[in-house]
């Protein structure tokens, strides 16, 4: 199926927020997962997958498939990327972390253009200063490569992206748009 699947990465251990499930933390009156779903509803996305490793029923109540990591013990974002890519039914899949609700409006379309123009299988956003590795678009056929990297013990998303020849795309002056909940002043 052509199109773009969005993979909301909500499978973390929440170690920086006292072990709480980040996707269910409230910000501006609602859970972070709801902010992500609202943003994706206007982004030209074909399907949404939520990668989560706990509170699966609560995430499923939002009406989208919930896919846990294949690896036990919160193996990190690369495990969520691997699980999401394997479950996607489209040719491309964009990852967004659940705890960063302000990403640029044109994220999906610009990353897709970067893949087409660069003839690459992965495009990753930068904020004009540094790579934002969890904001990326992948060819879903890369699921095997992500699983292979995990099996070899490498969990670094940026290193995986380098290994598959990712193209970086600058979103100039967008540092605030990639801020996560740890950096947002009015989180509760």
pLDDT tens digits for 39-75?
A: 999 888 999 999 999 999 999 999 999 999 887 766 7
Task: Say what the pLDDT of residue 113 is.
Answer: 93
Domain extent for 84: 4-178
Question: Number of folded domains in the chain?
Answer: 1
CB atoms within 10 A of CB 123: 25
Q: At what angle do helices 143-151 and 77-87 cross, to 10 degrees?
A: 150
pTM of the model: 0.92
Task: Confirm whether 167 is domain-assigned.
Answer: yes
Q: What are the tens digits of pLDDT across the range 132-157?
A: 999 999 999 999 999 999 998 888 99
Task: Confirm whether 20 is domain-assigned.
Answer: yes
Burial class (CB in 10 A: 0-12, 13-18, 19+), 12: buried
Residue 94 has pLDDT above 60, yes or no: yes
Task: Confirm whether 87 is domain-assigned.
Answer: yes
Instruction: For residues 66 and 87, give the distance between their C-alpha atoms in angstroms, rounded to a whole number.
Output: 10
Q: b/e string for 128-144 if b means 16 or more Cβ within 10 A?
A: eeebbbbbbbbbbebbe
Measured at the alpha carbon of residue 40, what is the angle toward residues 29 and 118, in degrees to the nearest 5? 140
Task: Confirm whether 183 is domain-assigned.
Answer: no
Task: Confirm whether 63 is domain-assigned.
Answer: yes
Query: Facing residues of 167 across strands?
Result: 123
CB atoms within 10 A of CB 99: 27
Task: Confirm whether 184 is domain-assigned.
Answer: no
| Paired sense of beta strands 26-27 and 131-139, if any | unpaired
Task: Confirm whether 186 is domain-assigned.
Answer: no
Task: Confirm whether 51 is domain-assigned.
Answer: yes
Cα 39 to the center of its chain, rounded Å: 13
Task: Say what the pLDDT of residue 143 is.
Answer: 96
Which CATH number characterizes residue 166's domain? 3.90.550.10
What phi and psi, each to the nearest 5 degrees, are found at residue 26?
A: -90, 140
Q: Determine the 3-state secondary structure of 107 from DSSP.
A: helix
Those residues whose C-beta lies under 8 Å from the C-beta of residue 38, and which sit 6 or more positions away, are none
């Amino acid at each position: 199926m052509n199109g773009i699947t969005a993979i909301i990465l909500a499978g973390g251990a929440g170690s920086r927020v006292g072990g709480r499930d980040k996707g269910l933390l409230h910000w501006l009156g609602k859970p972070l997962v709801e902010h992500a779903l609202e943003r994706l509803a206007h982004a030209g996305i074909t399907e949404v997958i939520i990668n989560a490793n706990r509170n699966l029923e609560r995430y499923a109540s939002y009406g989208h498939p919930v896919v846990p990591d294949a690896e036990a013990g919160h193996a990190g974002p690369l495990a969520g990327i691997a699980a999401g890519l394997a479950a996607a039914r489209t040719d491309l899949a964009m990852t967004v972390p659940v705890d960063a609700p302000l990403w640029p409006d044109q994220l999906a379309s610009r990353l897709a253009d970067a893949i087409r123009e660069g003839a690459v299988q992965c495009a990753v956003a930068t904020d004009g200063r540094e790579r934002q590795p969890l904001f990326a678009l992948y060819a879903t056929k890369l699921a095997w490569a992500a699983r292979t990297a995990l099996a070899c013990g490498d969990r670094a998303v940026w290193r995986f992206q380098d290994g598959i020849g990712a193209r970086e795309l600058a979103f100039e002056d967008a540092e605030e748009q990639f801020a996560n909940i740890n950096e947002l002043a009015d989180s509760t």
